[in-house]
């Protein structure tokens, strides 16, 4: 796509008021205030949504900010693993059918949409690693084919009929990747960097693994790109962290929250070529449940928060960056 310079040249025009129909990259001189101004993309920001009915940390999510699910995790007061599922309509959460197997993340993964999703792996109430997978049909959960390697703290992405799981923890961090084709799980090429607690973006043909923990106390900024066959290291995120959430595709998405090593609300946006820091979440949290379908319409619910460790019930919704008029620094 042509940019402003290509279409209009590099001549800078004088205006007494802002020009009409501004486009990204446009530059002009404001004669009234004697400043050079330009049109550029601003930073995305989060807004407050409705609270979960049952607060939970280490839960998982799927869908969008107007049609989402939150499920699993640790209950209010940290009193055991949850089976509860709640549905979000963009305003409020409603309790719906429970998971068949209660579990927390430390990483059960959610993929798909609010009418066709999946919950993959995680930690069981007896503190064992889960291989179980459950499918959501819009009204209830049904157990389906287990993954090959039981694990917790893994990353998952894709859809109900075509999903993948990678990394995670068994008795140590692992790098195994498995792909679901709608009928079976197949082990494929491993991540290059063994790690757990990372963010996932994308599909089974084009995915990202972002950040995570390569060891018990370590954090990393490494990002790997999946092309449907193998993983390749690509542009790092700006802030190394684990317990990070993510939503979107391999060409456009956001990551948020995490431990770096302290809990944070840091948010970064991927535009297909670079990661840029955005406005932070209002809370410093990690291990969140979040929307998985679209980076432009994601939500964050629950999470691990030092400020409210017994009842993390808040929800925040992502708002994409918009074009804004900025003043150039001419010093």
Domain ranges across the chain: 4-41, 45-319
Task: Report which of 217, 179, 173 is spatially closest to residue 195, judged by C-alpha positions.
Answer: 173
What is the tens place of the pLDDT at every residue in 62-97? 999 999 999 998 875 556 788 999 999 999 999 999
- Could you report the per-residue pLDDT of 7-19, keeping only the tens digit for each? 455 577 777 777 7
Residue 193 pLDDT: 97
Letter string b/e over residues 94-123, b meaning 16 or more CB atoms within 10 A of that residue's CB: eebbebebbbbbbbbbbbbbbebbbbbbbb
**The pairing of beta strand 299-301 with beta strand 289-290:** antiparallel
Residues 185 and 178 sit within 8 Å (Cβ to Cβ) = yes
Q: Which helix (H) or strand (E) holds 186?
A: strand 185-188
What's the whole-number mean pLDDT along residues 154-173?
A: 96
Residue 4 has pLDDT above 50, yes or no: no
With tokens 């949504």, the residue in question is 49
For position 40, what pLDDT does the model report?
61
pLDDT of 77: 58
- CA angle (305 as vertex; 299, 308 as ends), nearest 5: 110
Average pLDDT over residues 19-28: 70
| Residue 250, number of CB atoms within 10 A of its CB | 19
Out of 57-66, 222-231, 321-330, the most confident range is 222-231
Rounded mean pLDDT of the chain? Answer: 88
CA dist 249 and 272 (Å) reads 9
- The closest of 264, 262, 244 to 254, measured between CA atoms, is 244
Q: Are 298 and 47 in contact (CB under 8 A)?
A: no
Q: Check whether 202 has a pLDDT greater than 70.
A: yes
pLDDT in tens, 226-244: 999 999 999 999 999 999 9
Query: Is the pLDDT assigned to residue 100 strictly greater than 80?
Result: yes
| Cα–Cα nearest to 73, from 100, 51, 49, 55 | 55
User: Phi, psi at residue 6, to the nearest 5°?
Assistant: -65, -40
Query: In this predicted model, which residue has the larger pLDDT, 163 or 288?
Result: 163
pLDDT band at residue 1 using 50, 70 and 90 as cut-offs: very low
Indicate the class that CATH gives domain 45-319: mainly beta
Provide the percentage of residues in the chain whose pLDDT is more than 90: 66
Instruction: Count how many Cα atoms sit within 13 Å of the Cα of residue 53 in the half-sphere of its side chain.
Output: 13
Give yes or no for a contact between 103 and 74, defined as CB atoms under 8 angstroms apart: no
């Amino acid at each position: 796509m042509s940019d402003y310079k290509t279409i209009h040249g590099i001549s800078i025009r004088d205006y007494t008021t802002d020009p009409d129909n501004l486009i990204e990259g446009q530059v002009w001189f404001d004669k009234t205030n004697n400043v050079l101004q330009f049109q550029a993309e601003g930073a995305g920001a989060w807004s407050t949504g409705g609270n979960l009915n049952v607060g939970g940390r280490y839960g998982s999510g799927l869908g969008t900010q107007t049609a989402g699910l939150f499920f699993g995790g640790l209950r209010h007061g940290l009193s055991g693993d949850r089976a509860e599922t709640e549905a979000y309509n963009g305003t409020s959460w409603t309790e719906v059918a429970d998971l068949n197997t209660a579990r927390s993340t430390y990483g059960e993964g959610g993929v798909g949409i609010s009418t066709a999703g999946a919950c993959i792996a995680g930690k069981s109430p007896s503190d064992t690693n889960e291989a179980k997978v459950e499918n959501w049909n819009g009204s209830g959960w049904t157990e389906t084919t287990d993954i090959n390697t039981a694990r917790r703290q893994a990353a998952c992405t894709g859809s109900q009929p075509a999903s993948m799981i990678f990394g995670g923890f068994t008795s140590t961090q692992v790098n195994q990747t498995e792909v679901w084709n709608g009928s079976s799980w197949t082990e494929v090429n491993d991540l290059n960097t063994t790690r757990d607690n990372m963010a996932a973006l994308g599909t089974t043909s084009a995915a990202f693994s972002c950040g995570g923990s390569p060891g018990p106390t370590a954090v990393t900024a490494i990002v790997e790109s999946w092309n449907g066959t193998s993983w390749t290291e690509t542009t790092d995120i700006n802030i190394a962290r684990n317990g990070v959430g993510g939503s979107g595709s391999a060409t456009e998405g956001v990551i948020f929250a995490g431990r770096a090593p302290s809990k944070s609300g840091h948010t970064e946006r991927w535009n297909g070529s670079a990661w840029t820091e955005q406005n932070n979440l209002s809370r410093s949290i990690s291990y969140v449940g979040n929307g998985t379908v679209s980076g432009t319409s994601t939500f964050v619910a629950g999470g691990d928060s030092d400020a409210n460790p017994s009842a993390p019930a808040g929800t925040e919704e992502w708002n994409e960056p918009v074009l804004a008029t900025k003043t150039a620094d001419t010093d």
